[in-house]
Amino acid sequence: MSQAPLRTLVSVAELSALLRGDERVVLLDCGFDLADAQAGERAYGAAHLPGARYAHLDRDLSGAKTGRNGRHPLPDRRTLAQRAGTWGVAPGVPVVCYDAQGGPYAARAWWLLRWLGHDAVAVLDGGRQAWADAGHVLSSAQPDGITASPYPLGEPAMPTIDAERLLASLGRSAILDARAADRYRGEVEPLDAVAGHIPGALNRFFKNNLQPDGRFKPAVQLRTEYESLGLDSGQAPVHQCGSGVTACHNLLAMEHAGLYGSVLYPGSWSEWCADPSRPVAVG
């Protein structure tokens, strides 16, 4: 690429310039609605960035549920590598993920591709709406299918922590919960069987990363806000949410702000609360 490698966010103008170049670019539409699992795919079928392929949260960006591993467990890495190949993702090929919900599902795809070891991936700042607001066309045309090799697997390139290790580190690790404040406090729980949060976790609602227009806040502002949380515990911050999706939004925001090294707890609250022996905090 002639410009700096994609790593966190890409603006509409930057993406437009990239698409006008000679380099192949993979676009992933990750739009989703937790209340209607087919809504994102319907919206994609009606209007998406030209050439974009659809990545479904449940089918493509999550693995099989057991009832005790959370609502959106990580997919098997080999399965994900095969899926990435069908999208056209290959080493060195730029990938831009987007959605129409403020970026949480695009951030999940971004994290997963980074986890596979793919560096050249970013989230479109402002998503589909920002693209349309800038006067760029949307399309309902389906891209042609491709036959490609699975993405070559190495060691996982993004760190994770499981419930047992997190339980053992309570009181020492800084934990950030990306859910809305009322869910974090345990006042409401629309999705999981138990209300509350992991003891010691701090609340950072993922939508607080955004400006009113749906774009991310400037990197300097994000850095100031995250540093004000007092995350320096001597260990890497652990990100979690309800099911490991919106936590990726906070992790992306921190990386965009130059705060690297965060760890994802993929099972998040939906896995944590499935075991009654694990402690729960409210308030």
User: What is the secondary structure of 70-88 as a DSSP string?
Assistant: -SSPPPPHHHHHHHHHHHT
In a domain, 268, yes or no: yes
What is the share, in percent, of the chain residues with pLDDT greater than 90? 92
CA 27 to chain centre: 15
What per-residue confidence (pLDDT) applies to 66?
Answer: 94
Convert the pLDDT of each residue in 106-116 to its tens digit.
999 999 999 99
Rounded distance, CA 59 to CA 267, Å? Answer: 17
Check whether 196 has a pLDDT greater than 70. Answer: yes
In a domain, 39, yes or no: yes
In a domain, 140, yes or no: no
Token digits of residue 7: 């790593």
Convert the pLDDT of each residue in 122-179 to its tens digit.
999 999 999 999 999 999 999 988 878 999 998 999 999 999 999 999 998 899 999 9
The sign one gets for the Cα dihedral 58, 63, 69, 72 is negative
User: What is the tally of structural domains in the chain?
Assistant: 2
The answer to whether residues 106 and 184 belong to one domain is no
The answer to whether residues 89 and 198 belong to one domain is no
Convert the pLDDT of each residue in 236-276 to its tens digit.
999 999 999 999 999 999 999 999 999 999 999 999 999 99
Check whether 69 has a pLDDT greater than 90. Answer: yes
Residue 233 — very low, low, confident or very high, per pLDDT cuts 50/70/90? low
What per-residue confidence (pLDDT) applies to 2?
Answer: 35
Residue bearing tokens 């100031």: 224
Note down the domain range covering 47: 9-133
The answer to whether residues 24 and 121 belong to one domain is yes
In a domain, 143, yes or no: no
What per-residue confidence (pLDDT) applies to 3?
Answer: 44
Token digits of residue 234: 């001597």
The answer to whether residues 16 and 85 belong to one domain is yes
The answer to whether residues 13 and 128 belong to one domain is yes
Residue 20's contacts (CB-CB under 8 Å, 6 or more residues apart) are: none
Catalytic site residue from 97, 241, 248, 273: 241
Q: Which residue, 91, 113, 133, sits at the end of a domain?
A: 133
Helices (H) and strands (E) in the chain, counts: 10, 9
Residue 95's contacts (CB-CB under 8 Å, 6 or more residues apart) are: 6, 25, 26, 27, 28, 87, 89, 113, 118, 120, 121, 122
Our answer to whether residue 248 is catalytic in this structure is no
List the CATH number of the domain containing 70. Answer: 3.40.250.10
What per-residue confidence (pLDDT) applies to 1?
Answer: 32
Whether 32 and 106 have beta carbons less than 8 Å apart is answered as no
